[in-house]
Structure 1
Amino acid sequence: MNKKTVLKKTILAVSIAMLTACGGSGNNSDIAPVASTSTIEGVITGFGSIYVNGVEYETDNASIEIDGNPSIETSLGIGDVVVLQGSINADGLTGVANRVSSVDELEGYVLDLSNLNVGVGSINVMGQVVNITIDTVFDSNTLNSIDELSINDIVEISGFSDGNGNILATRVETQQSADNVELKGVISNLDIDALVFTIGTLTIDFSSAFEVPAILNNGLLVEVKTQTVLTGSLIDGFVLIASQVEIEDDGGFEFDEGVEIERQGLVSDVTDTTFLFNGELIQIASLKVDDDFASLENGMLITAEGFIDANGVFIIEKIENIELSDFEFEGLVTAKTETEVTVTNNGVEITFIVNNSTRLMDEQDEGVTPIRFFSLADVALGEYLTLKYFVDINGKNIATELEREDNPTLLIASRGL
């Protein structure tokens, strides 16, 4: 059986058998359980072993890789985007991982912070617009909030890129050195004579790179690395002197025909017949009359489910919208069940549904050691929580993030974002 590389960085022909952009719980367990071997790309939301796309995967015998190098599970963090190879059980909620690979979307210098407003907005990293939302996770060991960043800080960004210089950040952490400054994106304005191209607003000079693909084209998705500081300015533009230019391969996973694929990603450049999914052009080869293709919008985060056909093409069978947070609430726990928690603040009481897609983080640090394998079962009455959430079509408060914190002296009331 022929091996096929998933999602070649060329135009993908896609047959969509079902297209929905539904609200609801945001729990990807609504997607039908995948039989046998499958490949999942998504955001880590919890540990014990590892939660990705609403499924808890055992990782006892799994190989772990970070940026292509062997690693261990404890080096992964909430908000990291991973590609996971394994299987999902019949319940659709549990599975077994054979391999987990994490590759950051961008690592480099912060160039501009002027578009932030109360911790959300966008920052310029290496000429790329990195969108910071209420759902962006910050590595508490290096960064508590985006407001702590300074110009020329080196950051590592996990998330999803539209390929045109815009990234939705799911996790941000700072780095001490610039040994691995890198970015991914779609080539534009290629000048073979001058040996330059652009990704977003950043000019890439590859004249001295020791590794360059034999053929470069506009529209090709690549990863660029450098070991030198950027030159230029915000007004005149920045230039990166590339040491390596590689065709982006999403971690190098290869799969047999028929392997089931489930990917989270960012939608952009929507037209009547095509859209970009994580910067890759998707052409609609066939579409059921009743399908609501018009519901796709630029900037939407979706889960796409399908399989690899005999030609190595990703055939998408279902698309589902991923709900993002709209609100944040902090307070004391006054009631709890196996799937719900009630939090009270200054007389306001809200009950939240917690599911496998809820990001779970223990950030207590006053006299206690935070629990890595943290779950709702670890939460006790009287403890202090911060929850991010949205309200579904049934009026239920669905927690997208639950964070246990030290109890502050001043409680902060609910605020809509």
Structure 2
Amino acid sequence: MMGSSAGKPRVRSLLAALIAGALIVACGGGADGGSGQLAGIEGTGIVSGFGSVYVNGIEFATTDASITVDGEPASESRLRVGNVVRVAGRIDKDGNARADRIVFDRSLDGPIARIEVAPDGTGELAALGQTVRFDGNTVFVNTPAGDLEKGDLIAVSGLGDDGSLRATTIQQGPTYVPGTTRIDVEGIVRDLDGSSFQLGTLRVNYSGATIEPGADALRNGTYVQVFGAQNGDDDALNADSVATRARAQGDDGEQLFLEGLIGDFAGLSDFSVNGQRVDASDAERTDTAPLAPGAGVSISIRGSLRGDVLVADSFAVQPSPEVMLQARLDDVNAPSDGLELLSTRWTVRADTLYNDERSDNAAGNDRQLRIDRLASGDTVTVHGYMGRTGLVMTRLERVADDAQGNAQVRGPIDSIARNGDGGRIVVAGAEIQVSDATTVFLNAAGQAIDADNFFAEAAPGTVIKAIGPDNGSRIDIARSVQLNR
């Protein structure tokens, strides 16, 4: 097993382009204890791990950092993988970064007005006028998506604005009481008049609210956080507090990183993310996703601020994960950022999300989980997509061993063949053997169907979920296979 420093060369290599030329901006005389000048670095991104805090693929030391969670001073332990945070700090010529300040504010805390969950676990909900999408990269902190219902109080952290969010964490709260429970939501002010404005599809009545820093700061296009109460799903939010939030980050020439959803897109030379104008026309693309940048696409960017434009040095897009595997690890190769399970090979991104979910296991939870802390034989759940050069992992959870020794595979079918009274299905390179006699075949609604009907509906590209014995190289014979779409 490799020590915790194993992840640093990867982070440093990704930062090389970012740091080049930046150190001329060093502040405070550039002293950093002898390792070279320090450049300022600032940005918004998703927390992907701990042992330090990893944000946007950068490892930030937090020894002297001030941390704020929902407006209150907090310790690092209050942060969770998946939280969207704002970070300000410094970075040296070797790529060593340290945070001066980390701020987390949830995107909304309110009741679910509507929720739809697909068989593959993806879905959409509405809360406080916001449409919230969730997928395999969303961390459900204490309640799985399938157990959430209309009226449940949830706290959401996510990417996006103006009424649409891609959730990165969702946490169920205490019992919600309409008209009494204090709730909050962030967004962009639209249709402002003398007493109300719009956030997404939510009308906000601010006539009795305290406005920070003052009423003259409130105008159309302002980003705000609103607190108050709501009597019903279709009623206005009666605000008691409205706080304007500055979205611009950094000073001219400072190094910036930014993660969010692309807004108005007129090409790589002119688009916006979180209200920040971006020019990525000369930037290096660092991902292998088969997805072009465009409106609504999730993107992470590194570059520098020139005037009011973030000029990108590099960027990466991240599609929603379409493949999930849960199995025992066959092999771990930390130096090459590679994992193998069910004979499939996965590449780990610098911003891959890591969670240890073994709280009911004697081994306990490892908050500092990274690839170098995994071992062959560990049971993991991985989410990701098929990139141009192979499988790319966007999220990894180490989980307790399955009591029945089962593995799980979900994703679009690569190939499928009927063989007498059985068959062979391949999903993302993982082989699944099925038997008419022992495998339970299910439709998308979870109803049992016979094998002939299953094979008539299933074809390359059809999404399925298979559960069965983990025989190292494949699932053989599957206990169940279900059509997921």
TM over 0.5: same fold? yes
1:382 aligns with 2:377: yes
Give the Cα–Cα distance (whole angstroms) in 1 for the partners of residues 198 and 66 of structure 2.
35
Give the aligned residue type for 2:253: G
2:11 pairs with 1:29? no
Give the Å deviation of 1:75. Answer: 0.7
1:342 aligns to what? 340
Shift, 1:328, TM fit: 1.0
1:204 corresponds to = 204
Partner of 1:315: helix, strand, or coil?
strand
- Quote the residue 2:327 is aligned against: 331
Letter in 2 for 1:68: G
Cα separation, partners in 2 of 1:283 and 1:84, compared to 1, 3 Å: closer
Query: 1:176 is aligned with what amino acid?
Result: P
Change over 3 Å in CA distance of 1:316–1:72 after alignment to 2: same
User: Counterparts of 1:114 and 1:264 in 2: how far apart (Å)?
Assistant: 26
| Alpha-carbon spacing, 1:240–1:332, altered in 2? closer, same or farther (3 Å) | same
Q: Does 1:213 align with 2:207?
A: no
Q: 1:337 to 1:283 in 2, by over 3 A?
A: closer
Cα displacement (A) at 1:410: 5.3
Say yes or no: does 1:156 pair with 2:155.
yes
Which of residues 47, 59, 62 in structure 2 aligns to 1:59? 62
Q: Are the structure 2 counterparts of residues 254 and 400 from structure 1 closer, same or farther at C-alpha, using a change threshold of 3 Å?
A: closer
99-108 or 403-412, which moves further after superposition? 403-412
Q: Does the 8 Å contact 2:276/2:310 carry over to 1?
A: no
SS at match of 2:146: helix
Question: Could you say what secondary structure the match of 2:198 adopts?
Answer: strand
1:304 corresponding residue in structure 2: 301
Is 1:352 aligned with 2:316?
no
Conserved 8 A contact 1:224-1:244: yes
8 Å CA contact 1:26, 1:357 repeated in 2: no
Match of 2:77 in 1: 74
CA–CA separation in structure 2 for the residues paired with 1:259 and 1:173: 34
1:137 positional shift: 1.0
> Which letter does structure 2 place at the counterpart of 1:87?
R
Give the structure 2 partner of residue 109 of structure 1: 111
TM-score by length of 1: 0.79
Deviation by residue 1:243-283 (Cα, 9 ceiling, x = unmatched)? 11222225xx97544322111111123346854422x2638
1:170 counterpart letter in structure 2: T
Q: Secondary structure at the match of 1:358?
A: strand
Q: After the TM superposition, which residues 81-120 of structure 1 pair with which residues of structure 2 at under 5 Å, given as runs?
A: 81-92=84-95, 94-114=96-116, 116-120=118-122
| 1:274-321, Cα deviation, whole Å (9 max, x unpaired) | 54422x26387x967x99xx9531111112333344x6x243234623
Q: Measure how far apart 1:362 and its partner are.
A: 1.0
Give 1:31 deviation, angstroms. 6.6
Any idea what the Cα deviations from partners look like across 1:162-218, whole Å, max 9, x if unmatched? Answer: x320011111112226765211112222232xx122111111111221326225333
Partner SS for 1:29: helix
Deviation at 1:331, TM superposition (A): 0.8
Say if 2:218 and 2:244, in contact at 8 Å, map to a contact too: no
**Matching residue of 2:227:** 225
1:132 maps to: 134
User: SS of 1:377's equivalent?
Assistant: helix
Q: C-alpha separation between the residues in 2 aligned to 1:306 and 1:355? A: 19
Closer, same or farther in 2 for the Cα pair 1:71/1:377, shift >3 Å?
same
Closer, same or farther: CA 283–388 of 1 in aligned 2, 3 Å: closer
Partner of 2:189: 187
Conserved? CA contact 1:27–1:54, under 8 Å: no
Shift of 1:49: 1.1
Stretches of structure 2 that go unaligned for 5 or more consecutive residues are 1-9, 23-38, 286-290, 412-462, 464-485
Deviations 1:9-53 (A, max 9, x none): xxxxxxxxxxxxxxxx99992672334111031101111111111
Q: What code does the residue aligned with 1:67 have?
A: D
2:354 and 2:396 in contact (8 A); partners too = yes
Identity across the alignment (%): 25
CA change 1:231–1:262 in 2 (3 A) is same
Task: Note closer, same or farther for the CA distance 1:377–1:317 as it changes in structure 2 (3 Å cut).
Answer: closer
Gaps of 5+ in 1: 1-24
Whether the 8 Å contact between 1:46 and 1:361 is mirrored in structure 2 is yes
1:174 matched residue in structure 2 = 172
Task: Give the structure, 1 or 2, with the largest relative contact order (CA under 8 Å, sep 6 or more).
Answer: 1
Q: Which amino acid aligns with 1:65?
A: T
Query: Hey, which of these two has a bigger chunk of helix by percent?
Result: 2
The separation in 2 between residues aligned to 1:405 and 1:381, in whole angstroms, is: 13
Quick one: distance in 1 between partners of 2:231 and 2:377? 53
Write out per-residue CA displacement over residues 40-85 of structure 1, whole angstroms, 9 at most, x where no aligned residue: 3110111111111112121122121112321101110000111111
Q: Deviations over 1:62-114 (max 9, x none)?
A: 1211123211011100001111112234344x422222111111111111113
Q: CA–CA distance in 2 between the matches of 1:46 and 1:404? A: 13
1:17 corresponds to: none
Aligned to 2:52: 49
| TM-score for the superposition, normalised by structure 2 | 0.69
Name the CA shift for 1:358/1:114 in 2 (closer, same or farther; >3 Å).
Answer: closer
Contact 1:213 / 1:247 at 8 angstroms: preserved in 2?
no
Q: What's the Cα RMSD here?
A: 3.0
Cα distance, 1:244–1:167 mapped onto 2, change above 3 Å: same
The amino acid of 1:239's aligned partner reads A
Q: Which residue of 1 aligns with 2:242?
A: 245
Aligned positions of 1:229-308 closer than 5 A: 230-233=230-233, 237-250=234-247, 255-271=250-266, 275-278=271-274, 280=275, 282=277, 296-308=293-305
